[in-house]
């Protein structure tokens, strides 16, 4: 009986070692693109932005490809979305870019996302909050987790509906000011 138990453990160990060897070999193989179930590959994530305050434009920037975010593109995006009043740059939450990418895929607008406000320094946010009740004192803009946008060729109410339908983060609707706020905070709508 003891002998049988030892053979089972040996077979089990051998099977385990073989599986580990195959898994290690598979990881060493080059992967052409991020694979999804069914052998499909994930499409690169692309964004086009136009900063209405600086006139800077970024066209069809690929910010995610082959299962990872691309540092060079993220730096360009961070720069375009900087606080234009102080010229301060903060890394933008890549999850925010993912949300914008999905919005743009669902809504075929006529060009780049128009950026009204991206990152805001604490000093800028405090100044804006003093002038307007519509600016949160602890705004996610100060963390690089919020953006105010419009999309040419897309009705503002439709843009809001699309953002809300994603069920990701917060969505604010400012028709009098002509923009929709999108953030990566908790899900909420106003």
The tens digit of pLDDT for each residue in 99-158 reads 999 999 999 877 899 999 999 999 999 999 899 887 888 899 999 999 999 999 999 999
What is the rounded distance in angstroms from the CA atom of residue 23 to the CA atom of residue 180?
A: 47
Overall CATH class of domain 39-189: alpha beta
31 has pLDDT over 50: no
Cα–Cα distances in angstroms (integers) from residue 126 to residues 22, 87, 93, 133, 183, in the given order: 57, 16, 21, 11, 19
Ranges 2-11, 126-135, 149-158, 166-175: which has the least confidence: 2-11
Residues in contact with 54: Cβ distance below 8 Å, sequence separation at least 6, in sequence order: 80, 84
Query: Which residues are registered as beta bridge partners of 172?
Result: 181
Mean pLDDT, residues 58-64: 97
Q: What does the domain layout of the chain look like in residue ranges?
A: 2-30, 39-189
Count the Cβ atoms, other than its own, within 10 Å of residue 60. Answer: 9
Q: What is the pLDDT of residue 40?
A: 60
């Amino acid at each position: 009986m003891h002998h049988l138990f030892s053979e089972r453990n040996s077979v089990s160990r051998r099977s385990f070692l073989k599986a580990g060897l195959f898994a290690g070999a598979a990881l060493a193989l080059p992967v052409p693109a991020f694979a999804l179930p069914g052998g499909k590959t994930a499409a690169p994530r692309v964004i086009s932005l136009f900063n209405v305050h600086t006139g800077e434009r970024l066209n069809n920037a690929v910010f995610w490809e082959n299962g990872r975010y691309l540092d060079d593109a993220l730096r360009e995006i961070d720069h375009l979305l900087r606080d234009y009043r102080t010229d301060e740059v903060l890394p933008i939450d890549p999850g925010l870019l993912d949300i914008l990418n999905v919005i743009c895929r669902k809504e075929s607008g006529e060009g780049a996302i128009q950026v009204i406000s991206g990152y805001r320094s604490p000093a800028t946010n405090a100044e804006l909050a003093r002038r307007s009740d519509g600016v949160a004192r602890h705004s996610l803009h100060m963390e690089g987790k919020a953006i105010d946008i419009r999309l040419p060729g897309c009705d503002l109410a439709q843009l809001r509906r699309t953002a809300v339908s994603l069920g990701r983060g917060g969505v604010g609707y400012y028709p009098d000011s002509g923009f929709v706020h999108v953030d990566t905070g908790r899900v909420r709508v106003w």
